[in-house]
Amino acid sequence: MTLVILAAGLGSRYGGLKQIDPITTHGEFIIDYSIYDAIEAGFDRVVFLIKKENLDAFKETIADRIAPFTKIDFAFQSLDMIPEGFEVPAERTKPWGTAHAVLCCREVVGNDNFAVINADDFYGREAFVEMAKVLSGDRTSRYVMAGYILDNTLTDNGSVARGVCKTENGKLVSIEEHTKIYRDGEKVFCACREDVHPIDRYSPVSMNFFGFAPDVFDIFEREFKKFLTEKKGELKAEFFIPLALSGAMASGECTVDVFPTDAKWFGVTYAADKPGVVQKIKEMTENGTYPDGLWINR
């Protein structure tokens, strides 16, 4: 099984290459903990999806460190990686989005079942264990998503974007992107529309932790062509994973299973989040969840 880590973004709100910003005295990153948990769960290969100009930085830091423990490959995302017959608008600078990032991994991933995560998010080991159970089974056309509790995915340092999910009988029905969700006391609000309105703090949300069989690439390629046709001239439109899946789900071509998780997400959305992440990792090291030095003592 392959773990694809989406790490092409620079994190404009954070102000730096947050994916390789150390959070421990041993120089480990959030990525290290995701990879460690994935290996413990049974994944045997990691594919980093990055910008080509960041290759040396990733090789010299995280890749060299984990090389003794798993196979490593790299894939690259760039604006010009689009289907034949389409052109990149001259004024466009924004990346095409997460589903495009997954498409950029097609040749590297090959025929392996794979999971997709963000580089700067901590997902919790139990989510990797559950994902591995699903992907290691007989999967030819079904897909899966980890469903987190919204309240477990918020930061105290600003608003966040979350994909709020609607599910029925354990199947994903839809994901609605909300770009400005924040906590105010015991309540959670969304300011992504014209008004500010409350949102159920226990809503299931997507944290971009998906599992796929390799036939998903055919769906993504077809839907990306539709996206490029429909969004021609829109310089900021993004081709997200939920958007790529929506058409195939609506037609019955595929279903997406959702497994709920109580795992507590944390990540570095803002620079002010880092001290809290450092403290949480320290606590999990002290209670024995992780060794003091992930790769030193493995």
pLDDT digits (tens, 9 = 90+) for 233-263: 778 888 999 889 988 888 888 889 999 888 8
What is the rounded distance in angstroms from the CA atom of residue 194 to the CA atom of residue 207?
25
Question: Token digits for 160?
Answer: 């966040």
DSSP annotation string for 206-229: EEEEEEE-TTHHHHHHHHHHHHHH
Percent of the chain at pLDDT > 70 equals 94
Query: For the segment 159-201, what is each residue's pLDDT rounded down to a tens digit?
Result: 888 889 999 988 999 888 888 899 888 899 988 777 888 899 9
What pLDDT, on the 0 to 100 scale, is given for residue 14?
39
What is the percent of the chain with per-residue pLDDT over 90, rounded to a whole number? 44
> In the CATH scheme, what architecture does the domain 2-147+206-241+268-286 have?
Alpha-Beta Complex (3.90)
Question: Per-residue confidence at 140, pLDDT binned at 50, 70, 90?
Answer: low
pLDDT of amino acid 234: 79
Question: In this structure, what token pair is assigned to residue 131?
Answer: 């994902």
Indicate the pTM of the whole model.
0.89
Q: Which helix (H) or strand (E) is 148 found in, with range? A: strand 143-149
Q: CA angle, 108 as apex, 105 and 113 as ends, to 5°? A: 80
In angstroms, the CA 221 to CA 82 distance is 9
